[in-house]
Amino acid sequence: MITSKLPNVGITIFTQMSQLAAQTGALNLSQGFPDFDAPQALCDAVGRHIAQGHNQYSPMTGLPALREQIATKITRSYGINVDADHEVTVTPGATQAIFCAIQAVINRGDEVIVFDPCYDAYEPSVELAGGRCVHVQLGLDDFAIDFEKLAQALSPRTKMIVLNAPHNPSGALISRAELDQLADLIRDRDIYLISDEVYEHLVFDGLPHVSVLNHPELYERAFVVSSFGKTYHVTGWKTGYVVAPPALTAELRKVHQYVSFCGVTPLQYALADFMAEHPEHVEELPAFYQAKRDLFCDLLAPSRFTFNRAAGTYFQLVDYSQIRPDLTDVEMALWMTREHGVASIPISVFYQTPPEGQRLVRLCFAKREETLREAAAKLCVI
């Protein structure tokens, strides 16, 4: 009989809700992926490189041209320099980067602090490394770090803290003052960081993305993870990267080379070309997605849902307390999908212990205008 290494893990809610949307014909605003195409020049570049024979293994660390483009983008975005050879590693997706970072430094008995609501891939990766997650709940209204709770959660066994900003599912951002406060708290402790920044370029209302890359003291102990899928509308390419100081990068690569060895070669060539030829894409992304957020929120204004506009990501939380307070968020998500044709994600699944009385579901607005209009029309009659 098999003894499961992850006995509490089943099929993710994202898969379940996407399957239900497909079965019922509902509009899928649950799983976070666009329903529009990537830039044509990027798609054309893939075909070109396949035709040119770039179909064999790329270097384990990532195609040199792509790592150089990542380093150039970081300089342009954050005003700092990183070593493309010794600090940048291309991975088959951000989730794989997170997994490898955790496996590289977490040992049996170590504790890893995660902030609820949190992405569901963190805890299984920690458990597979023999560690244990300690959950610290973010603020109920602003989803900010409660530093008093964080200080109480620290122990001699704490080996890592996982940050996520812009934050999934809430869209909340982190400030420089908060990073400074974190640095003060862990300065004399042997604690690593993962900074999950996959939505780094989806920040709205003129606000900046405050990256751990731009905080020298924290970066010394950090793995900073990002995603081409989110930035270039190609989530199915499963291509991401991690930036870390040379010593941490060396440890991460020891694991990475035995998990996947390398990413998909023609995709890396295509991304390198597109980044070199279209640096403006990243600069235009905040306005592109803010327009979608604003359209969707304006369309939802007449509904009985209440919400604060997301500061980042391509997710919008909505409160359904005035509609069906008798339903849990899981029940609400199922009801909305089956009865009203819009699939969402209940955010209780992002918690170890969901807050009592919270009535929130997450909607993805990385969709075409016609999709957002149709979904909003359905939601406004609930």
Under the banding of pLDDT at 50, 70 and 90, the label for residue 10 is confident
pLDDT attached to residue 12: 85
**Residue 224 three-state SS:** strand
Q: For 133, left (φ over 0), alpha (ψ -120 to 50), or beta?
A: beta
pLDDT digits (tens, 9 = 90+) for 286-304: 999 999 999 999 999 999 9
pLDDT at residue number 59: 98
Give 317's strand partners. Answer: 362
Of 237, 80, 75, 248, the C-alpha closest to 160 is 248
Domain ranges of the chain: 13-31+282-380, 55-278
CB atoms within 10 A of CB 55: 12
pLDDT of residue 107: 98
Integer Cα distance of 281 and 213 in angstroms: 21
Is domain 55-278 classified as CATH 3.40.640.10? Answer: yes
Asked whether 131 and 163 are in contact (CB, 8 A), the reply is no
Q: Which CATH architecture has domain 13-31+282-380?
A: Alpha-Beta Complex (3.90)
pLDDT in tens, 208-227: 999 999 999 999 999 999 99
